[in-house]
Amino acid sequence: MENKKEMKNWLDDFKLNHPLVIAGPCSAETEDQVLKIAHELKNSDVSIFRAGIWKPRTRPGMFEGVGAIGLKWLQKVKEETGLLIATEVANSNHVKLALDHDVDILWIGARSTVSPFIIQEIADALEGTDKIVLVKNPVNPDLALWLGGIERLYSANIKKLGVIHRGFSTYEKTNYRNNPEWQLPIELQNRFPDLPLICDPSHIAGRRDILQDISQTALDLNFDGLMIETHTNPDKAWSDAAQQITPKVLIKMMEDLKMRKITNEEFDYKNSLNTFRTQIDVIDHGLLDNLGKRMKVAIEIGNLKKKKNVAVLQTKRWNEILGKMILDGEKKGLSEEFILRMFKAIHQESINHQKRVING
């Protein structure tokens, strides 16, 4: 992807004065369901109607999609509403069927992005296509793997490319279904600013009550658009019910999130400043999260010291840590004075936690 100028800026073709919106049900369930949702969205900010036709599920026995019949329903959506249509593809057969049914946008899911073999198979099947192809991040936070998928498609002479950030799986329970790890899409955006970046807040959230906050964060970070799951009766959806919202709620949410592109110097300054501040907010939340994890480990150490009747303060260990952190901090442009102040504060908080355990 060295010569990014060859990549087509397909977003310009939409001529939008608001973020790109891709919306529709997690899964196409029936023809009536698909068409009803599409008609409720056709006069909104939604430009692309999405629906899962093949659903790769974590475990067998779950609903895995209606299959190729759903592509005919998507065709009807385009005919009746004028919306472009999009679906996920996971192998060369999916690609062939989607192209045969004139699907406009094909996306590659997180479970597929983790496998270079799958990506290469899809790239070979799509070689030279003029369709828009979007790549979701892999399930694990691996930027190189994400970029590798994009590069394989680019090498197959596919120029209308974009990426979808849907968060990353984690063993630890958090507020999210998939941890956003915003620093990864930020890094990708910094490396390839011309590559359209879409956020999938539905899969990051896993629940509808935090969709708007995640969407706003994405837009504050200069994402180009959103992919949101919507259903006329979310609680009865055949898949991912908890993260879907009704078309009416989606339309209201988009009105609240709307960000108009104003081309003047003052707006550009404020927009850039807001983006940088949001990046700092994301990093700060990560710092607090890591400090909280560090204190949990300190408590476990306190339990061990109590059991073995060992003193809280271990001077030799502390001096070793401090020396190492000063050297590592210098490599990152951080002064010795700052490192000392910061780690002394962290160390004191760890001691306080351990004292409470031992005295407790």
Q: How confident is the model at residue 358 (pLDDT cuts 50, 70, 90)?
A: confident
Q: What percent of the chain has pLDDT over 70?
A: 93
- Could you report the per-residue pLDDT of 183-211, keeping only the tens digit for each? 899 889 888 988 999 999 999 999 999 99
Q: How confident is the model at residue 3 (pLDDT cuts 50, 70, 90)?
A: very low
Q: Please provide the distance, in angstroms rounded to a whole number, between the alpha carbons at the two ends of the chain.
A: 59
- Could you report the per-residue pLDDT of 148-169, keeping only the tens digit for each? 999 999 999 999 999 999 999 9
Average pLDDT over residues 326-337: 90
Quote the pTM value: 0.77
- Could you report the per-residue pLDDT of 33-64, keeping only the tens digit for each? 999 999 999 999 999 999 999 977 666 777 77
Average pLDDT over residues 132-151: 96
Residue 276: is it exposed, middle or buried by C-beta count within 10 angstroms (0-12/13-18/19+)?
exposed
User: Which of 39-53, 95-109, 157-171, 345-359 is predicted with the least confidence, judged by mean pLDDT?
Assistant: 345-359
Is the pLDDT assigned to residue 227 strictly greater than 80?
A: yes
d(CA 210, CA 229) in angstroms, rounded, equals 13
Residue 160 or 2, more confident: 160
Average pLDDT over residues 306-312: 85
d(CA 168, CA 180) in angstroms, rounded, equals 6
Over its C-alpha atoms, the chain yields an Rg (Å, rounded) of 24
Average pLDDT over residues 301-311: 88
Q: How confident is the model at residue 5 (pLDDT cuts 50, 70, 90)?
A: very low
Average pLDDT over residues 29-33: 97
Residue 208 or 355, more confident: 208
**Domains of the chain, with CATH numbers?**
4-261 (3.20.20.70), 267-359 (1.20.59.10)
Question: Which of 358, 347, 214 shows the shortest CA–CA distance to 291?
Answer: 347
Contact 105, 78 (CB under 8 A): no
Average pLDDT over residues 105-128: 97
